[in-house]
């Protein structure tokens, strides 16, 4: 006989419909919090914060102390994997990430092998071990990585891009070399997420933030297939670990995504209608997300009304409350507190 896991996020991910949804928040640690900004200044720069296990654990715990979310996401970044594969990565204050660029088969071939990623990423596993000791017992620890397409868009362009143009150009010019890049990132991601799970991550999430720019066969080959491959490998090694997939702005391609990839939960951005997603996506299992992050800036009755609409739409199945994308630096922490209060008012 087995007993149901007690943590609410794990129960929802196992397919349980709860009376009120558990809640966590994308980009819970970030510049909207003064205590985050203070720790970041102490670390010196963003990457030093990611690779300092004590400080990274501290900025993960800060929003949990303040708001008491049901889940905490590890503090790290999707661009640590390119760095571990041999790309140069740095952050320009006020602008964002910069990387060396990969635009040729030789650039792909020069990347380090997947099992070498631990040399760079072992501090992240230490952050996870600290968090498992320090988090409240009801809080679920969520590990993560970028999905291969999204990570590739940064490795090819060397920076964030509005339309992922350079990655599309590489893919269209040399599909075999681009596929090799996707495979290399996928293999590294399997090693990285397995190690996160072994260190104590209880759930892992794959961020495919730029999935929406892939259409037709490209979506199948570069969003769906790499995600399915990573999930199959992780489930083979760690059968009990729930996995959240976030093919952001996939639109109609959200339909069937969980079935095709083996994901236990699909995270929804704010561009899809909650009623539509309940009928077409939640029928395959747990969903999370959908609240526009802008509500964390504007707050008020509009926030409460929109939350009630989302909760009602997803009340017939497993649901985790979350934003449709990360909270922005201009958000007001009081609105985050109001969000947590509102979702729990029914408890």
Positions marked catalytic: 27, 31, 40, 77, 154
State the minimum distance, in angstroms, from the CB of residue 329 to ligand 1CP.
8
Backbone angles phi, psi at 10, to 5 degrees: -65, -35
Task: CB nearer to ligand 1CP: give 289 or 318.
Answer: 289
Strands (E) in the chain, as ranges, are 71-73, 89-92, 96-99, 140-146, 203-208, 243-247, 265-268, 286-289, 319-320
CB 98 within 8 A of CB 160: no
If the CB atoms of residues 144 and 314 are measured against ligand 1CP, the closer one turns out to be 144
Q: C-beta of 215: minimal distance to ligand 1CP in Å?
A: 19
Residue 68, interface with ligand 1CP (CB under 6 A)?
no
Give phi and psi for 88, each to the nearest 5: -80, 135
- What's the CA gap between 112 and 222, in Å, rounded? 21
CA distance linking residue 116 with residue 113, whole number of Å = 6
Options 13, 21, 28, 227; binder of ligand 1CP; rule CB under 6 A: 28
Our finding on whether 229 is near ligand 1CP (CB under 6 A) is no
**Total residues at the site for ligand 1CP (CB under 6 A)?**
21
Count of alpha carbons within 13 Å of 129, Cβ hemisphere only?
10
User: According to CB under 6 A, which residues from 166 to 225 bind ligand 1CP?
Assistant: 207, 209
Q: Which two tokens stand for residue 284?
A: 């395959």
Can residue 254 be called a binding residue for ligand 1CP (CB under 6 A)?
no
Q: Name which of residues 86 to 145 contact ligand 1CP (CB under 6 A).
A: 96-97, 144
Q: How far is the CB of 146 from ligand 1CP (least distance, A)?
A: 6
35-62: b or e for each residue (b if 16 or more CB lie within 10 Å)?
Answer: bbeebbeebeebbebbbbbebbbbbbbb
Token pair, residue 146, equals: 């970028």
255 lines the binding site for ligand 1CP (CB under 6 A): no
CA distance 268 to 340: 19
Please tell me whether residue 326 binds ligand 1CP under the rule CB under 6 A: yes
Does 46 interact with ligand 1CP (rule: CB under 6 A)?
yes
Residue of 7, 11, 27, 229 interacting with ligand 1CP (CB under 6 A): 27
Q: Summarize as ranges the residues that interact with ligand 1CP (CB under 6 A).
A: 26-31, 40, 46, 73, 75-79, 96-97, 144, 160, 207, 209, 326
């Amino acid at each position: 006989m087995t007993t149901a896991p007690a943590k609410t996020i794990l129960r929802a991910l196992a397919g349980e419909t709860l009376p009120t949804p558990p809640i966590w928040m994308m980009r819970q640690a970030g510049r909207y919090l003064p205590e985050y900004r203070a720790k970041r200044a102490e670390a010196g720069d963003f990457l030093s914060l990611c690779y300092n296990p004590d400080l990274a654990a501290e900025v993960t715990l800060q929003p949990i102390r303040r708001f008491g979310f049901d889940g905490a996401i590890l503090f790290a970044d999707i661009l640590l994997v390119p760095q571990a594969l041999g790309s140069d990565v740095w952050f320009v204050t006020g602008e964002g990430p910069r990387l060396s660029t990969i635009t040729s088969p030789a650039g792909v071939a020069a990347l380090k092998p997947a099992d070498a990623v631990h040399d760079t990423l072992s501090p992240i596993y230490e952050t996870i071990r600290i968090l498992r000791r320090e988090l409240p017992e009801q809080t679920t620890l969520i590990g993560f990585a970028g999905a291969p397409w999204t990570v590739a868009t940064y490795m090819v362009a060397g920076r964030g891009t509005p339309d992922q143009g350079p990655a599309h150009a590489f893919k269209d010019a040399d599909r075999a070399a681009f596929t090799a890049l996707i495979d290399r990132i996928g293999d590294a991601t399997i090693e990285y997420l397995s190690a996160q799970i072994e260190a104590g991550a209880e759930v892992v999430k794959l961020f495919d933030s730029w999935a929406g720019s892939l259409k037709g066969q490209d979506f199948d080959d570069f969003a769906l297939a790499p995600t399915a491959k990573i999930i199959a490998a992780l489930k083979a090694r760690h059968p009990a670990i729930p996995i959240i997939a976030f093919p952001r702005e996939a639109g109609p391609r959200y339909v069937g995504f969980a079935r095709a990839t083996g994901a236990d939960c699909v995270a929804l951005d704010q561009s899809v209608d909650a009623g539509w997603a309940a009928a077409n996506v939640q029928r395959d299992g747990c969903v999370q997300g959908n609240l526009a992050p802008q509500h964390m800036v504007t707050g008020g009755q509009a926030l409460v009304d929109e939350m009630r609409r989302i909760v009602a739409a997803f009340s017939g199945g497993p649901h985790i409350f979350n934003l449709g994308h990360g909270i922005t630096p201009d958000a007001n922490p009081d609105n985050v507190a109001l969000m947590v209060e509102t979702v729990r008012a029914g408890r």
